[in-house]
Amino acid sequence: MSDAGRRMHALVERLYPLCRSITGNGVRRTLEIVAESVPLEVHEVPTGTQVLDWTVPKEWNIRDAYVRDPSGRKVIDFAESSLHVVGYSVPVSATMSLDELRPHLHTLPGQPDLIPYRTSYYAETWGFCLRQETLDALEPGPYEVVIDSTLADGHLTYGEHVVPGESADEVLVSCHICHPSLANDNLAGVAVAVELARRLAERTPRHTYRFVFAPGTIGAITWLARNRDRVGRIGAGIVLACAGDRGSLTYKRSRRGNAAVDRAVEHVLRASGRAHTVVDFSPYGYDERQYCSPGFDLGVGSLTRTPYGAYPEYHTSGDNPGFVSPEAMTDTLETLWEAVDVLERDRRYLNLSPYGEPQLGRRGLYGSLGGRSDTKRDQMAMLWVLNLSDGDHSLLDVSERSGLTFGEVARAARALEEAGLLKGLEK
C-alpha cells in the first residue's frame, strides 16, 4: 500500500461519520478537515441568493434524532448512522403508533440489512431510514419520535483551492461534498482530489489548477453563477466521484466529446492496456452536467470507477470505508496524474527545418539513444514529431496519428527542441 493510499483511506475514515448535506455545519467541518491538508478559501453564500435559475435554500442542521420504543430502547438512532434521517428533515417531537410512523419510514426490502440514503431538499417533510429487518421486528408502539433539527436562513458553503501555474489558463477539478456517510460516493473523490492537489503543489505546473469542493448540483450552480467572468479560462476539467471501489475505471466525456480532457484521459486509459469504459456525455449524473450546460459548455468530463447506481452498495450503508480500498483510490489518482501530465506537456511545435528531413545523426540525436531496445520507436517518434510540427498539430495529435505513446512523442519533442530543430508555440 502506498503512502498516498494510506492518507486517502484515512481521510475517508475521518470524514465518514460527519452528517453532510447541501448546507450546514457538516459541510463546514468537512472543509475544515480538508483544509488541514490543502489550504482552502471558504465561501458562504446567504439563503435567498439568486444563482442562475436557482435560489440558495435554507440551511439545515441536525443535532440528534431517534425513535424510541415503549421499553425506552432506541430502535432508530441518528448517533449510530447519519443515514438514519432523511436529509433536510424538519423538526419533530411526537408520540405515535407504528401505523402513524410507517409512512415516514424508508427501507430497502431487496437489501434488508442495509440503510438507504434519502433526502428531501426542497419539500419540507421528515423521515427516517432503517434496515428492513429492523422494521420487520417493530411492534405496534407507541413510539417516541424526535428529530432535533433546524431549517432556517443561513448559508451555502463551498471551498476552493488553487495551485498557481505559469499560465492563467485553468484546469478545474470538482467534487461534491454533500453526502453523509457514503465512502465511495462522495468521500473517495474528495480524498483523491486532496492528494492530487498535494502532488501538484510540489511543482510549478504550466496550467493553474482550481479545486472546487461544493455541494452537488446547487453548489456547482452557485460556483458557476459567482464565477461567470472566470469560466472562459477553464480549458479542461474533471468531476471526481465514486473513486474508490474495486471496479474498473469509467470515463464520461464532456458535452463537446473531443475536449482536451477527453482526449487526455482516453489516451491514458488506452495506453494503460487495462479494462476500462468510456461513455458519451449525457445530461444526467454528477456536476459535469452543470459545467457542460449549453450556456457554459466547458470541456469538463467525469472520472469514476463503477458509475453511480451501478453497484449494489450505492446510496446505502454498504458504501462504508470498508467498501473502498487504498489501492483503488491510488489507481484513480495515478490515472488522473497521467492525464494531468498529458495536459501539462501537450502543445504545438513548429519545425524549424521543414524542407526535407533534417540530418539527425550529425546532431547526435541517433547516437545519444545508444543501444536501447526502444531506439527504433524513439527514431520514429522524432520523425513523426518533425513531420507534424507545422503549428497546427499538438503532441497528442502526433501520438494519436502515429500510434506511439504520448510519453514517447513528448520525449522526442524535447530532444528535438534541445537540438534547435523545434520551437514550442504558446497556444
Residue 153 in marked binding region: no
Query: How many angstroms separate the Cα of 322 from the Cα of each of 44, 55, 246, 313?
Result: 33, 37, 11, 11
Instruction: Answer yes or no: are the C-beta atoms of 314 and 286 closer than 8 Å.
Output: no
Q: What DSSP letter does each residue of 240-292 carry, written as one string?
A: E-S-SSSSPEEEE--SSSS-HHHHHHHHHHHHHTS-EEEE---S-SSTHHHHT
**Is residue 387 classed as helix, strand or coil in its secondary structure?**
helix
- The answer to the question of whether 297 is labelled as a binding residue is no
**CB distance 218 to 261 below 8 Å:** no
Is the CB of residue 186 less than 8 Å from the CB of residue 179? yes
Cβ density class 104-120: b for 16+ within 10 Å, e for less: bbbbbeebeebbbbbbe
Classify residue 187 by its DSSP letter. Answer: I
185 is in an annotated binding site: yes
For cell 465518514, the residue is 16
Is there a contact between 208 and 171 (Cβ–Cβ < 8 Å)? yes
Q: Residues near 338 by Cβ (< 8 Å), separated by ≥ 6?
A: 268
d(CA 237, CA 174): 8
* All three cell numbers of 307: 458509475
Grid coordinates of 44: 458562504
Residues 6+ apart with CB under 8 A from 197: 37, 38, 161, 163, 173, 209, 211
Q: How far is CA 353 from the centre of its chain?
A: 44
- With residue 377 as reference, give the H or E element that holds it: helix 375-388
How far apart (Å, rounded) are the C-alpha atoms in residues 321 and 244? 9
Long-range contacts, stretch 413-416, CB < 8 angstroms, 24+ apart: 413/349, 413/385, 413/389, 415/365, 415/368, 415/382, 416/349, 416/365, 416/382, 416/385, 416/386
Rounded-to-integer distance, Cα 416 and Cα 422, Å:
6
Binding-site entries: 179, 185, 315
Binding-site entries for Zn(2+): 179, 185, 315
